[in-house]
Amino acid sequence: MVGVAIGRKVDLRLYNSYHHLRNDLVNMFAKDNNAYDNGGEYGIFYQDKVGDWLLAGDVPWQTFMESVQRIEIVRNGWDLK
């Protein structure tokens, strides 16, 4: 169901890279996990402390960990809210 918010907290301290975080998020929420394996159909965006939406992976992991407030999984080709 596109556009339906799912409120779930994720302990980011359990992860040490974008790769592991992305894999777990896709496994938790994506309906067709094969789509991820066959070309990275899902993108991960995050909202920082000032409210800007950014692509996860564009900043070093530690910077991401210090600034992330909210995470959104987006199917490639779909617009962010």
Residue 69: is its pLDDT beyond 80?
A: yes
pLDDT at 36: 46
Residue 78: is its pLDDT beyond 70?
A: no
What are 13-54's pLDDT values in tens digits?
999 999 999 888 888 876 655 544 544 678 889 999 999 999
Q: How far is the C-alpha of 59 from the C-alpha of 54, rounded, in Å?
A: 9
Q: How far is the C-alpha of 53 from the C-alpha of 45, rounded, in Å?
A: 6
Q: pTM above 0.85?
A: no
Query: Residue 45: enclosing H or E segment and its boundaries?
Result: strand 42-47
CATH architecture under which domain 12-75 falls: Roll (3.10)
Does residue 37 contact residue 2 with C-beta atoms inside 8 Å? no
pLDDT at 35: 47
Does residue 50 contact residue 70 with C-beta atoms inside 8 Å? no
Tokens in use for 6? 């799912």
